[in-house]
Each structure stands twice: as structure tokens, then as C-alpha cells.
């Protein structure tokens, strides 16, 4: 089937190119327009209903009208002269708040009209909350609807912020804004220019690298264009499936899809280009289209196996209990399948059309180059295989030692967030009031006996909660409109996004709720701290399930591809050591070096899937070539040297490109994304430069053809060299 697809594409290249151009552009436009309708950012909504905080969210929605897409902001209002607020000041603040909550805020129109864009114009819900004990400021609650990652919602918030700031300034007050949406917009505004610069630099590095390797402008630019078209089609496909099935994606999913596809798409194109150039050198008289067909069929097998490894690894996330993982895995799996289809059709069609012109103006494809560094590396590995293997294991083991004392961080703060206006406002609030005022722990009490609630009926629970150590203040009980539920807000003294608040919510608060809830009721603990406490439990359970399932599927694919028991075992041990080294290095840098609370809770799972699955790409390319070379006449050691000579440049180039793609995430203001970017880039570099071109070939030299036990490849009969004058054997001293 693989050769049928590549053969059809090289025989009908213009038809294939036209289809991809039309579908790619159409799906890209649709995906960009609809992506924010298919995503939602409420982490609690990704929890299974069995978790306590998920049950609390359900009560909040059903009894208190809390919308899943609601964004609650805290607005600080203080006198411009710094004096204490008087009773008259409080009344003026509340009057201005009422005016703000009675006017419809119109979403500013973007400079460029976006197809299918939603209109997020709305009337904000504004309500006074409380005045600080020292009367230095008064807090207001403002609620806006919509996905906080949607630029339209962000523009609506900016309009609300400017309107309220102007109104209060005219009355003699200053304002400050904090909360999730405010922090997101502040980070976007602060990082917009830097993100654009980083993206431009990344693209420049990729183009420059291709120019240096192939000495061709077309070979440098075409992979980026092709991957952009296929990547747009993949994102559009994922968004379309989500819209049709009613599945909601995490806001980070489209960004991760883009990064993954840029990396692996360029990798696959590079594998084709290197093998295509090699084919043209070996058979200079062969037409370009025939060479493209032959190369695409051969490389297509390895690329398909590599892609299916990634698909299998990410598809295992579908069994996770945490919805963010359960959606992320299949989404990336679908996008990789689209990229695989493009690799077997679109890329071969372009090779067939361009032929030797792909490498213009370079003439390097017309002659066999001298050995170079890759040949020298292959020769050294043949001479010193044990030394090379031990050095790799020592390096990876030293990096893995960083896992000692590693902690999981379930916070949601952003790196550098203390420099934003939202963070400054939160700090000002916490100096006068409990830190959790802007993001309380909420206890929801719902009747189960049908009797309406009264505040007196829940006073015992409220009193017990107020006596807990770590609770700075308990707000008055709020009853639902039908009096079938009550909400008690607790303001912890600790940062609501920190470990101390999560321990308080999952420990003492839940214990007190269990012991003091009124008879005939059920009670649940919600809020950000409670949600992330439950997320930590769900993630721990998923890690124990997904790791072995993903490893088993990857091993099965390797067994089927390599038709061996020993080779897949060695590859799995190698990538497992690479994973441990990468995670240890991330813990050493972020937890021990930068003194962050720990590694992001998503990092081990995402890193396992990315490093093991994507790193296996390179191992598959190298081992497939080693097997091919061992099927030719000559000693197995020379076969490994030839394989390293031909594959090391492709693996090294692909590794740098993929690492640059992921490394661009390391400048993201969100700490978790920073860690994923840094660690994945490091893991890919280790996979490319340590595992694939050194450790795996060294093991192949040590084991020889026994690597393929129980079925050893047998050398075929000698055949005439396709181009006389070019030696096919690599002589190793």
C-alpha cells in the first residue's frame, strides 16, 4: 500500500499537488477561524465526574448559574491620593460599578476581518465584593464570557478595562486588574513582540540549516512551505472533528500540534531529500521522476513505521481519565496521520516534479562526496564500539541522576508573571487581605432530602471552616435562588495556585466538610486549589496506566518493522534511558537550578511520549538502514559504518530542526510550557546525537548480525556497482 501511494503520487504529481493545495488552504482557514470554538480552558471540566471538585463545578453550574466559559476578574479600586476610603467613596465606587454592569461592551473590530469570527460583545456582570480591612481599597468582581485564549475575548476585556479605568479615574480613583483573563492578556501583550522575533529566528535557523546542508534555496524553502500546508490541513482536520463530535480541546493543543508537525514534517522531508540526493549520486543517468518513485517507496516504509509509533504512543492517552490528556493524545495522533499521508503523497509528488532541480544551483548531487565527519564517526564506532557505548550510558546516567528528589508542580502560574500588572495587583491585595481573596476555595452544599436550606442550617459548617489553620477569612454564606444549595467561600492565607493551598483544600477543608456538613445534604469542595489537587491524583493514576501501554505498543511496532526480538529490546532500553536523562536534566535545571516548585505535572507524560515516540523516529531510520546494509555482501562492521555514513547527516540535521521547533516553546511566559520546550528539545538532541548515531550503532557493531535474532539478515549475492568508480564498501582501518 505504501509503494502504491508513493507510486501514484510520482506518476500523477500535479494532480496530487493541486489537491493538497486546495485542501490545505481550505482546512487552514477553517481551522484558524473555528479553533477557539473548539477549545476551552477550564481545567476542572477535564476531570471525571467522580472527582469532588468536578461535582462542585456541577453544583455551581446548576444552582448558581456559573457558566463553564465564565472568566471572573478581580478589580481593585483605590483613591488616587492614597487616602483611606470613606463611606461616600464606597458608594461612588458601587455606583460606577453598577453603571459598568449595565452597559454593553462592544468587541473592537480587528484590523483584518477573520472569517467565521464570533462577536464577543457583552454586558459584563459586575458586583462589589468587599473593602480591605485597612480601607485602602475596595474589590469588585467582573465576569466576562468566552475562551480566554480567543483574541476576540481578549479584546473585549481590554475594552472593559479601558472603559472602567476611565470611568473610575474621572471619579478620582485608580484601578488594578487581576485574575486568569487579566494575567493572560498581560502576558500576551508583554510577549507578543518577543514571540514574533523568536518565531522569525526559528524559521531563519531552519532555512539557513537547509541552505548549508543542501546548498540550494529550493531545498531550503520547499520543506517549510509543504509542512505549513500539511500542518494547516491537519489542524483544520482536528478542529473539524472536535466540532462535529462536540469534544472540547485544551487551548495548548493547537500550539502543540503545530510544533509537532513542523518538527516531524521537516524531519520526514529531510529523510526523503537525503536519500533522493544519495540516489541521484549513485545513479546519475536515472530520470528524476524514477528516482523519486524508488526513494519514496523505500523511505516511505521507515517513515510510516516512525509515524505509526508516534500515533500509537499518543493514542494511548485516549484511555487516560484526565480529559486534557484524553483529548490531546488522539488529536495529535490524527494530525500525525495527516502528516504521514502528506509524506507519502505530497512530498513524493514534489520530488517527481522538481527532480534534480530540487538541489539547484548546487552540483553536489552529481558526485559522491568524500567521507566527511559522518564517515569518520562510523569508522571510529567500528574501532571503539564498547568505549562509545559506555560513554553514552555514563552521560545519560549522569543526567538521569537529576531525578533524585524530583517533585511535581501542579501550579498554573507563568514564569516572569511577577512582572505583569495583574501580578502586581494580586500582590497589593495580598498585603492587606488573605492571598486567596481573588481565587477562593468554594464549598458547595446541596440538599439531598428536598428541604430548603437556610443560613442557620449551614452555620455549623461555616464555623468549623473558619477555625481551620490556613484559612484567613470565610465569606458569608450565599444561598442559591431556589434555596436548594449554598456556597461558602474560603480565603486561604497561601497563594491559591500553590501547593499549600492545594494541600489545604484536599486535606483539612475536605475533612471538615465531611465531618460537619448538615444532615440531609451533600457537600463538595471546589475552586482552583481543589481542582488541581484532584488533577494531581488523576495524573498519577494515568501515568501508571499510560506508560506501560504506550511502551508495549511502541515495542510491538518495532517488532513488526524490524522482524526481530533483540533489536527492539535494545532500542526500547536506549530510548528509556534517554527519557530518564531528559527528565533528570529538566528537574536539575528548573527545580534545583532555577528554584521552581518542581517540574510541571504534564511534563513526564508529554516528555515520555515526545522523546520516546519522536526519538524512535531516528532509531528506526538508522536501524532500518543498518539492516539494509547488512543484507549486502561484506562484514557486519562495515555495514554499520556505511549506515552511519549515510544516515548520520540526515539524523543530525533533523534533530537540530526538531529541537529548534520545540525549543521555541522555552521562551513562553508559562512555566509549564517553558519546561516542555526545553526538555523536549534536549531529549530530541540526545536522541539524535547520542542514541541514534552513537549508542545504537555501537550496539550493532558489538552484536553484529545477531542484533536481528532470531532471524539474521543474510548477505545477498554480489551485484555490479551502479556507478563504476564509486566504491560501495567503506574500508575501516
pLDDT at 114: 55
pLDDT at 112: 53
Report whether pLDDT(354) > 70: yes
Can you read off the three cell numbers belonging to residue 335?
494530525
The whole-number average pLDDT for the span 578-605 is 86
Question: Model pTM greater than 0.85?
Answer: no
Most confident among 42-46, 123-127, 323-327, 535-539 (mean pLDDT) = 123-127
The whole-number average pLDDT for the span 622-646 is 87
- What contacts 24+ positions apart, CB below 8 Å, involve 360-364? 360/216, 360/217, 360/218, 361/215, 361/216, 362/214, 362/215, 362/216, 364/214, 364/215, 364/277
Per residue in 13-38, is it b (16+ CB within 10 Å) or e — as a string?
beebbeebeebbeebbebbbbbbbbb
The whole-number average pLDDT for the span 85-108 is 90
Helices (H), 65-120: 87-100
pLDDT at 120: 81
pLDDT at 220: 77
Q: Which of 43-57, 112-126, 169-183, 398-412 has the lowest mean pLDDT?
A: 112-126
Higher pLDDT, 659 or 698: 698
Contact in structure between 138 and 130 (CB atoms under 8 Å):
yes
Report whether pLDDT(47) > 60: yes
pLDDT at 719: 47
Report whether pLDDT(590) > 80: yes
pLDDT at 364: 57
Higher pLDDT, 388 or 547: 388
The whole-number average pLDDT for the span 258-283 is 81
Encode pLDDT of 182-239 as tens digits.
888 887 777 666 667 776 777 777 777 767 777 777 877 888 888 889 988 988 898 8
Q: In this prediction, what percent of the chain has a pLDDT beyond 70?
A: 89
Can you read off the three cell numbers belonging to residue 568?
527492539
Helices and strands of the chain, counted as H and E runs: 24, 11
Can you read off the three cell numbers belonging to residue 452?
430548603
The whole-number average pLDDT for the span 232-248 is 85
Report whether pLDDT(717) > 60: no
Report whether pLDDT(398) > 90: yes
Q: In this prediction, what percent of the chain has a pLDDT beyond 90?
A: 22
Encode pLDDT of 110-169 as tens digits.
655 555 667 788 999 998 888 998 999 999 999 888 878 788 888 899 999 999 999 999
Locus of grid cell 474621572: 170
The whole-number average pLDDT for the span 303-328 is 80
Helices (H), 35-122: 52-64, 87-100
- Structural domains in the chain, sorted by start: 1-37+215-369 (1.20.1640.10), 69-186 (3.30.70.1430), 371-416+536-712 (1.20.1640.10), 440-526 (3.30.70.1320)
The closest of 675, 157, 43 to 414, measured between CA atoms, is 675
Q: Which of 184-198, 328-342, 508-522 has the lowest mean pLDDT?
A: 184-198
Encode pLDDT of 408-467 as tens digits.
776 554 444 446 888 889 888 888 888 788 788 999 999 988 888 888 889 999 999 999
* DSSP H or E segment with residue 471: strand 471-474
Mean pLDDT of the chain: 82
Q: How confident is the model at residue 731 (pLDDT cuts 50, 70, 90)?
A: very low
pLDDT at 369: 60
The whole-number average pLDDT for the span 717-726 is 43
The whole-number average pLDDT for the span 606-626 is 78
The closest of 169, 167, 147 to 157, measured between CA atoms, is 147
Classify residue 593 as exposed, middle or buried by CB count within 10 Å of its CB (0-12, 13-18, 19+): exposed
The whole-number average pLDDT for the span 705-725 is 60
The closest of 500, 476, 503 to 490, measured between CA atoms, is 476
Bridge-based pairing of strands 408-409 and 599-600 is parallel
Contact in structure between 522 and 464 (CB atoms under 8 Å):
no
The whole-number average pLDDT for the span 599-625 is 78
DSSP 8-state class, residue 287: -
Report whether pLDDT(277) > 90: no
Q: How confident is the model at residue 392 (pLDDT cuts 50, 70, 90)?
A: very high
Higher pLDDT, 581 or 32: 581
pLDDT at 582: 92
Collapse the DSSP code of 399 into the 3-class scheme (helix H, G, I; strand E, B; otherwise coil) and give the result: helix
Amino acid at each position: 500500500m505504501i509503494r502504491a501511494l508513493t507510486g501514484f503520487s510520482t506518476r500523477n504529481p500535479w494532480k496530487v499537488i493541486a489537491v493538497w493545495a486546495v485542501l490545505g488552504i481550505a482546512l487552514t482557514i477553517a481551522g484558524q477561524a473555528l479553533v477557539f470554538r473548539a477549545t476551552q480552558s477550564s481545567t476542572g471540566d477535564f476531570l471525571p465526574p467522580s472527582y469532588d471538585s468536578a461535582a462542585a463545578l456541577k453544583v455551581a453550574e446548576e444552582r448558581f448559574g456559573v457558566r463553564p466559559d465564565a472568566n471572573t476578574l478581580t478589580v481593585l479600586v483605590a483613591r488616587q491620593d492614597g487616602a483611606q476610603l470613606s463611606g461616600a467613596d464606597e458608594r461612588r465606587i458601587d455606583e460606577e460599578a453598577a453603571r459598568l454592569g449595565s452597559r454593553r461592551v462592544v468587541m473592537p473590530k480587528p484590523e483584518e476581518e477573520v472569517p467565521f469570527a464570533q462577536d464577543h460583545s457583552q454586558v459584563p456582570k459586575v458586583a462589589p465584593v468587599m473593602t480591605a480591612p485597612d480601607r485602602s481599597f475596595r474589590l469588585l468582581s467582573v465576569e466576562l464570557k468566552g475562551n480566554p485564549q480567543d483574541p476576540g475575548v481578549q479584546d473585549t476585556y481590554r475594552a472593559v478595562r479601558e472603559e472602567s479605568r476611565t470611568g473610575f479615574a474621572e471619579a478620582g480613583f485608580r484601578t488594578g486588574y487581576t485574575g486568569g483573563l487579566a494575567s493572560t492578556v498581560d502576558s500576551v501583550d508583554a510577549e507578543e513582540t518577543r514571540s514574533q522575533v523568536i518565531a522569525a529566528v526559528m524559521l531563519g535557523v531552519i532555512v539557513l540549516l537547509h541552505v548549508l546542508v543542501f546548498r540550494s534555496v529550493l531545498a531550503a524553502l520547499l520543506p517549510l512551505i509543504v509542512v505549513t500546508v500539511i500542518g494547516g490541513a491537519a489542524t483544520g482536520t482536528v478542529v473539524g472533528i472536535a466540532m462535529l463530535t462536540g469534544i472540547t480541546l485544551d487551548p495548548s493543543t493547537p500550539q502543540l500540534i503545530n510544533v509537532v508537525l513542523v518538527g516531524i514534517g521537516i524531519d520526514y522531508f529531510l529523510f526523503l531529500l537525503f536519500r533522493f540526493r544519495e540516489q541521484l549520486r549513485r545513479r546519475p543517468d536515472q530520470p528524476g521522476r524514477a528516482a523519486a518513485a524508488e526513494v519514496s517507496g523505500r523511505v516511505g516504509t521507515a517513515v510510516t513505521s516512525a509515524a505509526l509509533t508516534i500515533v500509537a504512543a499518543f493514542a494511548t492517552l485516549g484511555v487516560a481519565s484526565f480529559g486534557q490528556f484524553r483529548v490531546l493524545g488522539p488529536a495529535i495522533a490524527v494530525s500525525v496521520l495527516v502528516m504521514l499521508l502528506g509524506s507519502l503523497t505530497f512530498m513524493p509528488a514534489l520530488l517527481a516534479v522538481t527532480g534534480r532541480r530540487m538541489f539547484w544551483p548546487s552540483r553536489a548531487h552529481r558526485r559522491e562526496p568524500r567521507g566527511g565527519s559522518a564517515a569518520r564517526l562510523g569508522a571510529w564506532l567500528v574501532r571503539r564500539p564498547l568505549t562509545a557505548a559506555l560513554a553514552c550510558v555514563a552521560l545519560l546516567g549522569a543526567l538521569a541522576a537529576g531525578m533524585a528528589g524530583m517533585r511535581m508542580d501542579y501550579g498554573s502560574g507563568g514564569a516572569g508573571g511577577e512582572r505583569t500588572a495583574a501580578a502586581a495587583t494580586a500582590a497589593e491585595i495580598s498585603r492587606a487581605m488573605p492571598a486567596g481573596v481573588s481565587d477562593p476555595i468554594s464549598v458547595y452544599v446541596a440538599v439531598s432530602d428536598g428541604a430548603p436550606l437556610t443560613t442557620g442550617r449551614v452555620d455549623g459548617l461555616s464555623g468549623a471552616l473558619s477555625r481551620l489553620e490556613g484559612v484567613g477569612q470565610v465569606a458569608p454564606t450565599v444561598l442559591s435562588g431556589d434555596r436548594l444549595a449554598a456556597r461558602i467561600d474560603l480565603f486561604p492565607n497561601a497563594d491559591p495556585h500553590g501547593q499549600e493551598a492545594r494541600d489545604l483544600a484536599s486535606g483539612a477543608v475536605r475533612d471538615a466538610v465531611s465531618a460537619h456538613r448538615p444532615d440531609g445534604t451533600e457537600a463538595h469542595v471546589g475552586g482552583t486549589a481543589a481542582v488541581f489537587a484532584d488533577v494531581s491524583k488523576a495524573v498519577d493514576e494515568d501515568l501508571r496506566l499510560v506508560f506501560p501501554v504506550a511502551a508495549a505498543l511502541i515495542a510491538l511496532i518495532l517488532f513488526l518493522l524490524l522482524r526481530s526480538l533483540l533489536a527492539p529490546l535494545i532500542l526500547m532500553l536506549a530510548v528509556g534511558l534517554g527519557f530518564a536523562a531528559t527528565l533528570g536534566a529538566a528537574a536539575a535545571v528548573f527545580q534545583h537550578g532555577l528554584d521552581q516548585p518542581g517540574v510541571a505535572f504534564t511534563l513526564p507524560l508529554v516528555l515520555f511520549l515526545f522523546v520516546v515516540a519522536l526519538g524512535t523516529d531516528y532509531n528506526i531510520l538508522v536501524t532500518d538502514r543498518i539492516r539494509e546494509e547488512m543484507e549486502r555482501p561484506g562484514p557486519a562492521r562495515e555495514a554499520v559504518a556505511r549506515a552511519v555514513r549515510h544516515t548520520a547527516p540526515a539524523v543530525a540535521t533533523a534533530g537540530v530542526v526538531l529541537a529548534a521547533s520545540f525549543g521555541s516553546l522555552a521562551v513562553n511566559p508559562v512555566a509549564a510550557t517553558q519546561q516542555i520546550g526545553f526538555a523536549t528539545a534536549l531529549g530530541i538532541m540526545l536522541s539524535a546525537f547520542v542514541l541514534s548515531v552513537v549508542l545504537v550503532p555501537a550496539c550493532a557493531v558489538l552484536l553484529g548480525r545477531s542484533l536481528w535474532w532470531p532471524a539474521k539478515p543474510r548477505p545477498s549475492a554480489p551485484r555490479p556497482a551502479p556507478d563504476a568508480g564509486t566504491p560501495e564498501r567503506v574500508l575501516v582501518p
